[in-house]
Amino acid sequence: MKIVKFGGSSIASPDFVNKVLDIVIEKSKRDGIAIVFSAFAGVTEVLSDCCKMAEAGDIQYQPQLKALEHKHLNMVKSLVPVQNQTKVLTFVKVNFNELEGLLQGIFLLKECTKRTRDFVLSFGERLSAFTLTESLKSRGEKAVFIDSRSIIRTDNHFGNAKVDFETSNALIVEAFKSNPGLKVVTGFIASTAHGETTTLGRSGSDYTAAILATALGAESLEIWTDVNGMMTADPRLVKKALTIPELSYIEALELSHFGAKVVFPATMQPAMRKQIPVHIKNTFNPTGEGTLISAKAGNGTLVRGISSMKGVTLLNIQGACLMDVIGAGKRVFEAVARGSINIVLISQASSEYSICIAVSEGEGKRAKALIEEEFVYEIKTGDMEEVTISKGKAVIAAVGENMKQHPGASGTMFQALGENNINIYAIAQGSSELNISAVIDQQDMTKALNALHEAFFLSDRKVLHIYLVGVGLIGKTLLKMISAQQEKLQRENLLEVKVVGLANSRFMDFNEDGFNIANGFSLDNTHQKMSLTRFREMMNDMNLSNTVFVDCTASEEVASCYQQVLEANMAIVTPNKKANSSSLEKYHALRKVIGKGNARFLYETNVAAGLPVIGTLQDLIVSGDKVLRIEAVLSGSMNYIFSRLEEGLPFSEVVKEAREKGFTEPDPRDDLSGADVARKILILARESGLSLEFSDIEVESMVPEDTASAESVDEFLTLLEVHNADFQKRLDTARNEGATLRFMATLDKG
Ligand code: ADP
Ligand code: ASP
Ligand code: MG
């Protein structure tokens, strides 16, 4: 016998249900099976919402309920042939009449007890399983509907009832014996000894299936859902998540406990007790391998999966009374337990001065009150401080049995988090070494999951997220280079480069999946006005791992935000010289930030374009060399101009030509003034360890004085003609000395 469970996601529409019924019929030909169904997708949630609304006196529950009825009637009409529909349609209508009455009662009383809520929720599974039984019958199967309330006995812990296995096992065996045929059982619901309806906890249908499997000694339990199995991380948050072929019960339990919703955590205990293998399979990919959960730990990776749980509140309990006093911890936990509050994580430092516990968001305040009530005297005497609570946290956990006695997992974990600027508030590792958990800000959760996933499962692969400001001549060329190299980088360097943010001086645009830059890129069709503040906010909000900010502008304003970018642990790559050649104070402030964080600041192209001058200089300085003198031709534009001058052309013509060819700035005076060269030598001087300001550099401008104030570039070029003879004279003088004309920068004796 196999127990086969289909979740709501597998029966979301008539088309899906038909796929499910095909699988069921095919299976029942080969093996003895019994089926467990959840409610149709989303139904439990709507019923729960209706309860809340009715209780709050919101009459809007009525249209919600009507829509739900419609959904069920449609399911029946699509899944059961006309000649057999009457009975099922009547069943649906009768049940909705009852539901209407119930909700009306809640609405009038403005009260919905947990017991009433369980009863309302139970309609979901009853409706789906009954409809599907009839649908199977009409396909010729000898199907029998079993309401699990008659076979699973629980206590009266409504909403999360505890199973009485002894009684349930006997009831299940008996019911299976006396009902020949293909059994179709409702998931999620059960009843007390007094016949009150209970539920096993949200997502509890998996558990129902496990309970049946153990009672019947089934050879296996199959959980059919909408993903390819248990995955290395939540596939909704980590696009590159991989299916885990094999897992141990304990690993699956840990992963599901910390949020891997694909199986309900309690499912594992009965299966483990009876050593029943659990298969997780995809309804939409039935031939896929899926995941096998058994006693055996899967081999290979140190960490098997990463899971996360959001909506967590952290409580910090602190004070002298916790030190050395045996039993203080016990009092903390007992106080919380009195409120039936589940503790997600505990962490205590060896100083024993503080204990930190994580609970789910809704319980934070109550937990604080309970603890403070317990320690009321200690708080009065100052032996204990007020309990602090921090909301908006998430727990992220790396799970794997192979972590045992294999050092390195926590190193990898915390390094990946640190590199991505993710702050950790508390850490816990069980001595079983099965799980390392960290409490982080909820807003960092997706980034953290992806960073850890990359570190543990794709350690040979990396995704780089690039934000590029300045899509001008240089920016566009860079995009072309990236595009041309993209495939090779991915294939040979295992590096996936995604350009996720772009801006020029007017517009900006973002795309988390990466822009298609194959044919260049234009921001013309974008309507988001560029604002540097907003651009940086987007970089923070998108919160992607491995982020690089590329500044291809020459803007002072952009350069002035580097410090904040680096502080957010995003790397910077730039040819923009402004940051490194501004005031010494700013230069040193930037160095300080770089020293503190992990993010790199790369500006090799600030000086000498593609020649590795800055890196070489840095290496020389680090290894103890002293720079005595630097002498360099540092301006490509000026170099072109003077080379052409040597060829016999007049100076004004040469400048005009250089400008037309795009070798100068739009206004050639920006090059001829020598300021750009001065910035470059200043950067080299600073890299050599000298504390110089821009004003310390003596610059001989190549812009004749009477042309400096010309209004337009054309006017400047005309005025320049008068000076052609002067430049010719300089060239002749140089030639007479066996020299040539070049615009040089020299750093000498500091
Ligand atoms: P069902 O309706 O079949 O019970 P659920 O929605 O309860 O399905 O669970 C399946 C979903 O669990 C998947 O669609 C997936 O989005 C989510 N999920 C979260 N974490 C994981 C994980 N580690 N592996 C697989 N699925 C996960
Ligand atoms: N229908 C129930 C829920 O949504 C149980 C389940 O789906 O497993 O919580
Ligand atoms: Mg589920």
Question: Looking at the predicted structure, is the pLDDT value of residue 408 above 70?
Answer: yes
Per-residue exposure over 189-204, b if at least 16 CB sit within 10 Å of its own CB, e if not: bbbbeeebbbbbeebb
Q: Please report the pLDDT score of residue 409 as a whole number.
A: 87
Averaged pLDDT score across all residues of the chain = 93
- Mean pLDDT, rounded, for 535-554: 93
Out of 35, 186, 198, 202, give the residue to mutate to test ligand 2, the one with the largest number of ligand atoms within 8 Å of its CB. Answer: 202
| Helices 82-109 and 43-55, axial angle in degrees (round to 10) | 30
- Within 13 A of 729's CA, how many CA atoms are on the CB side? 5
How far apart CA 46 and CA 514 sit, in angstroms, is 36
How far apart CA 20 and CA 281 sit, in angstroms, is 12
Residue 204, ligand 1, Cβ within 6 A: no
How far apart CA 181 and CA 450 sit, in angstroms, is 47
Q: Please report the pLDDT score of residue 323 as a whole number.
A: 78
Measure 419 CA to ligand 1 centroid, in angstroms: 29
Tens of pLDDT along 603-633? Answer: 999 998 889 999 999 999 999 999 999 999 9
Tens of pLDDT along 210-261? Answer: 999 999 999 999 999 999 999 999 999 998 899 999 999 999 999 998 889 9
Question: Looking at the predicted structure, is the pLDDT value of residue 433 above 80?
Answer: no
Q: Taking ligand 3, which is a single-atom ion, which protein residues have CB atoms under 5 Å away?
A: 7, 203
- Mean pLDDT, rounded, for 682-710: 95
Q: Cα dihedral sign for 162, 166, 167, 169?
A: positive
Measure 500 CA to ligand 2 centroid, in angstroms: 37
How far apart CA 560 and CA 581 sit, in angstroms, is 12
Contact call for residues 8 and 127 (beta carbons, < 8 A): no
- Mean pLDDT, rounded, for 429-438: 81
Q: Please report the pLDDT score of residue 545 as a whole number.
A: 86
Amino acid identity for residue 556 in this structure: E
H helix count then E strand count, the chain = 26, 24
Contact call for residues 354 and 279 (beta carbons, < 8 A): no
Tens of pLDDT along 642-668? Answer: 999 999 999 999 999 999 998 888 889
**pTM: predicted TM-score of the whole model, two decimal places:** 0.77
Residue 239, ligand 1, Cβ within 6 A: no
Q: Is 543 helix (H, G, I), strand (E, B) or coil?
A: coil
Residue 290, ligand 1, Cβ within 6 A: no
Q: Please report the pLDDT score of residue 298 as a whole number.
A: 67
Pocket of ligand 2 (CB under 6 A): 7-8, 38-39, 44, 124, 187-188, 202-205
More confident residue, 327 or 253: 253
Q: Please report the pLDDT score of residue 596 as a whole number.
A: 84
Q: Please report the pLDDT score of residue 665 as a whole number.
A: 82
Q: Cα dihedral sign for 24, 28, 29, 31?
A: positive
| Helices 114-138 and 61-79, axial angle in degrees (round to 10) | 20
How far apart CA 662 and CA 657 sit, in angstroms, is 9
Contact call for residues 374 and 332 (beta carbons, < 8 A): yes
Contact call for residues 640 and 658 (beta carbons, < 8 A): yes
Residue 265, ligand 1, Cβ within 6 A: no
List % helix, strand, coil for the chain (3-state, nearest 5). Answer: 45, 20, 35
User: What are the residue numbers of the active site?
Assistant: 680
How far apart, in Å, are the Cα atoms of 358 and each of 96, 311, 354, 457? Answer: 41, 10, 13, 27
Amino acid identity for residue 273 in this structure: R
How far apart CA 228 and CA 501 sit, in angstroms, is 32
Out of 203, 234, 262, give the residue to mutate to test ligand 1, the one with the largest number of ligand atoms within 8 Å of its CB. Answer: 262
Measure 258 CA to ligand 3 centroid, in angstroms: 14
How far apart, in Å, are the Cα atoms of 252 and each of 187, 257, 278? Answer: 20, 8, 10
Residue with tokens 């600041």: 601
Cβ within 8 Å of residue 717, ≥6 positions away: 652, 655, 656, 659, 668
Percent of the chain with pLDDT over 70: 98
Tens of pLDDT along 165-201? Answer: 999 999 999 999 999 999 999 999 999 999 999 999 9
When mean pLDDT is compared over 119-128, 404-413, 555-564, the highest value belongs to 119-128
- Mean pLDDT, rounded, for 141-167: 97
Q: Please report the pLDDT score of residue 432 as a whole number.
A: 67
Q: Whose Cα sits closest to atom 11 in ligand 1?
A: 262
Q: Please report the pLDDT score of residue 330 as a whole number.
A: 87
How far apart CA 197 and CA 481 sit, in angstroms, is 65
Q: Please report the pLDDT score of residue 350 as a whole number.
A: 67
How many CB atoms sit inside 10 A of residue 485's CB?
14
What are the φ/ψ torsions at residue 571 (nearest 5 degrees)?
A: -75, 160
Percent of the chain with pLDDT over 90: 82
How far apart CA 724 and CA 695 sit, in angstroms, is 30
How far apart CA 224 and CA 218 sit, in angstroms, is 16
Q: Please report the pLDDT score of residue 532 as a whole number.
A: 96
Tens of pLDDT along 70-91? Answer: 999 999 999 999 999 999 999 9
Contact call for residues 40 and 130 (beta carbons, < 8 A): no
